Structure 1
C-alpha cells in the first residue's frame, strides 16, 4: 500500500496586496480591447513667447516692436513734408503723361489729315536740290532750264541773299512751317532749311576734245548726231580735263567735282553707261560746284580717247604698279607706261592733258589704260598694311590734280 504526501504552501494576503504593477493600465469594462500605455509617458508641452512672459499676444508684439513704430512715425512736420513732395511728384507725372498724350494726338492727326503730302508732293518732272550752298550756286549760275519754287523753313536775316536771287529770277518763295515738309521733298536728306524745285541739270554729250591753241581749245558737242564745235578758254598753261570711268558713288562724284573746280581743272567728262548720273546728292556733295564746272558725257569712250589723242590731248590714267594683268604682253605694255608723280606738271606744260580716274573697286578698264599715254601711281611714303591699299577716289583725284597743276 502506497501513500502520497501533498505539500501545501500558504501565502499571506497582506503581501499580495502590497505588490504594485510596473505599468498602470486603465480599467476597461470591454474585454479584448487593445490597451495603450504611451499615455503614461511624460509629455513636455511648449509655450508661446507671450505665454512665458505672462502677456497676451497683442500686448507682447506691441511691446516688442514699439521702437520700430516710433522711428517710422516721425514728427508731424516730417509727415507733412513727405506728403507735400509726394503730391508734387504725382502732379509732375500727371503733367508729363498729359503732354505725351497731347503730342501723340497731334502727331496722329498730322498724318491722318495728309496735308503735307497734298501740298508738297514731289514732282517727277522736277528735281529738288537742297542745302544753302547748292541752292545759292544754282541761282547764281542760272544754267538750268527753269526754277519753279524755293522752299524755306524758319527764314531769318541770312536768307535775304537767297530770297533776293530767287526774286530776281522770278522764283516764288514758299515758307513752310514744318521741317518734315522739306524732308518729304529731299528723301530725309540734310537740307539746312532750303529746297529749290528746278529742272534737272543735263550734262552735255560730246564726241571728242578738239584742237587747242595756247589757252584756247574746242570741244566737239553731239548736236543731235552732228558735231558742233564749242570754244573754251583755260586759265592754266594748257587745258586740263578729268575723265571718270565706272565711278558709281554719287558722293564720290560730287567730291571730285568740288575738288576739280576748286583746284583749277577746266572740265569733267563721264561715261554715260557706267557712271552715276548727276543728281541732287551730287550737287549737295559738290557744294554747288556742278553749276560752275563744265560737265560732259561720252557714249563711246574708246572712240573719244582715240580722236582726242589725235587732236593732241595726253591721257594720264591713275593705276597701281602692283596690279599685274594675267596676259604677260599686256602687263609688260602697262608697266612701260608708268611715270612718277613729279613728272606730271611737265606734261601739262607741253600740251593739254586729261586725268583718267576709275572706281575704287574695279579701277580703270584695261582697254582704257591701253589707250592712255601714261599711267601714274601715288607713291606711298611708308610701308602700310595691305588692307589699306588705296585712297578714296576723290582724295586721289585731288592729289593728282594738284601735282599736275603745281
Structure 2
C-alpha cells in the first residue's frame, strides 16, 4: 500500500511500518535533512513518477510504501475493551463511502479512546491509502472491522449486552440526556440518506445532537467525534 504526504509518511516511518520511501527530485534540502535526521532512507525519483504512482499531484513530493493494514475480526473491539478493563464503546458506520470521512472517523475514534470502528463490506469506503492517510496513523492502532451484514452484527452486539444508539437528527433522545454507563455502540449514517431502515430499526434508541446555528447538519466525521467524546466524558464525569 502506498501513502503520500509529508506528515503521514513521517508518522508511518516513526511507527516502523515503511518499506520504501520515494522523494521527488527538487524537494527542498531542508526537508531532506529532516528525513535523514529521522533515520529515514529514501530514493530520489522524477516527480512525475510519484504523480503516476499515487494518481495525484498533491503528494507534497514524498510517497511511501507501507505494510498492509490488516482488518480485525468482529470480536476484536469487545476483546480490546476487556483487556483495558473498560466499558465497550464502538463506532458503527452505515453507508460512509467517502474515504476521507472514513479515515477522519478512525482518527477521532482512536484518539478519543473508542475500542473499534466497524463498517459493512459492500456499503462503505475501503481501507484505502486515502483513508489510511486521513486517519493519520490511527488505522494501525485501532481494531478496524468490516462485516458482511451490519444489521446482523448489531443483533450480535445486542446479544452480547451492548446498547446501540443510532445518531439521527430526528432522534428522540438528546445527546446530553442519553445513558452512557453501559456497553455502547454508536451508529453513524451517511450524510446524504442517514441510517438505513434495517439499521435504524435495530437501534435501541435514536439520539440527536442539538444544533443551534442555521446549518442543518454536521459532517459525519465531526458528528462521530462529538458522540464518542461525549460518551467517554460522561463516563469519566
Query: If the TM-score is normalised by the length of the shorter chain, which range does it land in?
Result: 0.7 to 0.9
Alignment-derived partner of residue 174 in structure 2: 340
Distance 2:106 2:58 in 1: 20
Once the 2 structures are TM-superposed, how far is the Cα of residue 233 of structure 1 from its aligned partner? 2.7
Corresponding residue to 2:5 among 131, 138, 156: 131
Once the 2 structures are TM-superposed, how far is the Cα of residue 379 of structure 1 from its aligned partner? 0.9
Distance 1:359 1:311 in 2: 26
Q: Deviations over 1:335-391 (max 9, x none)?
A: 7xx2121123x42x2x21111001001111111111111111111225x3xxx4211
Retained in 2: the 8 A contact 1:138–1:291?
no
Alignment-derived partner of residue 278 in structure 1: 127
Greater relative CO, 1 or 2 (CA 8 Å, sep 6+) = 2
Distance 1:362 1:182 in 2: 36
Is the partner of 1:274 in helix, strand or coil?
Answer: coil
Alignment-derived partner of residue 34 in structure 2: 158
Q: Counterparts in 2 of 1:236-315, with a 5 A limit?
A: 237-315=86-164
Q: Counterparts in 2 of 1:161-180, with a 5 A limit?
A: 162=38, 164=39, 173-180=41-48
For the pair 1:405 / 2:236, whether they are aligned, the reply is no
Is the partner of 2:127 in helix, strand or coil?
Answer: coil
TM-score norm. by structure 1 comes to: 0.52
Retained in 1: the 8 A contact 2:22–2:45?
no
How big is the alpha-carbon RMSD for the aligned residues of Structure 1 and Structure 2?
Answer: 2.4
Q: Deviations over 1:187-222 (max 9, x none)?
A: 12422332112343231242x578xxxxxx427xxx
Distance 1:161 1:353 in 2: 44
TM-score norm. by structure 2 comes to: 0.85
For the pair 1:361 / 2:192, whether they are aligned, the reply is yes
Q: Alpha carbons of 1:161 and 1:190: their partners in 2 closer, same or farther (altered >3 Å)?
A: farther
Q: Alpha carbons of 1:138 and 1:294: their partners in 2 closer, same or farther (altered >3 Å)?
A: farther
Aligned residue pairs, count: 228
Segments of structure 2 that go 5 or more residues without pairing to the other structure are none
Retained in 1: the 8 A contact 2:76–2:116?
no
Alignment-derived partner of residue 392 in structure 1: 219
Distance 1:131 1:289 in 2: 16
Alignment-derived partner of residue 352 in structure 1: 183
Q: Alpha carbons of 1:203 and 1:184: their partners in 2 closer, same or farther (altered >3 Å)?
A: same
Q: Counterparts in 2 of 1:179-190, with a 5 A limit?
A: 179-190=47-58
Alignment-derived partner of residue 318 in structure 1: 167
Is the partner of 1:356 in helix, strand or coil?
Answer: strand
Alignment-derived partner of residue 233 in structure 1: 83
Q: Deviations over 1:310-352 (max 9, x none)?
A: 111111111121xxxxxxxxxxxxx7xx2121123x42x2x21
Distance 2:67 2:116 in 1: 21
Corresponding residue to 2:59 among 157, 176, 191: 191
Segments of structure 1 that go 5 or more residues without pairing to the other structure are 1-126, 167-172, 211-216, 220-230, 322-334
Distance 1:298 1:244 in 2: 11
